Amino acid sequence: MTTYAYARVSSKDQNLERQIAAFLSFGIEKSRIFSDRKSGKDFERKEYKKLIKKLKRGDLLVIKSIDRLGRNYDQIIAEWTHITNTVGADVLVLDMPLLDTRTKADTLVGRFISDVVLQVLSFVAQNERENIKTRQAEGIRAALGKGIKFGRPQTAYSDEFLAVAADYLAKRISSETAMRLLGLKKNNFYYHIYRIKALHR
């Protein structure tokens, strides 16, 4: 059995460090960690494709959170099914230990529980993203109404980064949610928020 890991962030502004550190702590060799800086809207990701080609029956794929596999419910379920059923590899989600096919594949009840948890979490993840997207739009409109401009600054923040920042500044999401969406640590997150606020004064 070989253990691999996959990390993903949606844009070049975001940080892969937190995910990679978690994999190294788990004991995964750096050479077996694959990562992409690309949106999860599809599976046209170079490193992900390489990883899937390497995965074999009995291998283990470790991811930090379920939404690293895809951006919506259908994608996540389809990819999970391909890895576990078609390829025959196991999957472990570090942020949700219930999603660990190694300990549940040997019993029908265990497999059923794992499948139910996966479907519920996938639905929740998609629903959260859709709600956040709506709140982001509302936050940007409210900010624009107050005279805040969201043009692209010299630091070239992505539109996604600016949208999450606007949502946080409008108090639509918590700092924890914003940091998770952007893949930033606390100090780095507040540094960029300070810069954005300064640029748009």
Which residues are designated catalytic?
10
Assess contact for 22 and 79: CB atoms under 8 A.
no
Whole-angstrom Cα distance, residue 189 to residue 200?
17
| Cα→Cα distances 40→6, 14, 135, Å | 13, 14, 20
Rounded to the nearest 10°, the torsion over CA 149, 150, 153, 159 is 180
Strand-pairing partners, residue 91, are 61
What does residue 81 show for φ and ψ, rounded to 5 degrees? -65, -40
Q: What is the dihedral of CA 160, 163, 165, 169, to 10 degrees?
A: -170
Closest CA to 11 of 43, 37, 49: 37
Contact 12, 39 (CB under 8 A): no
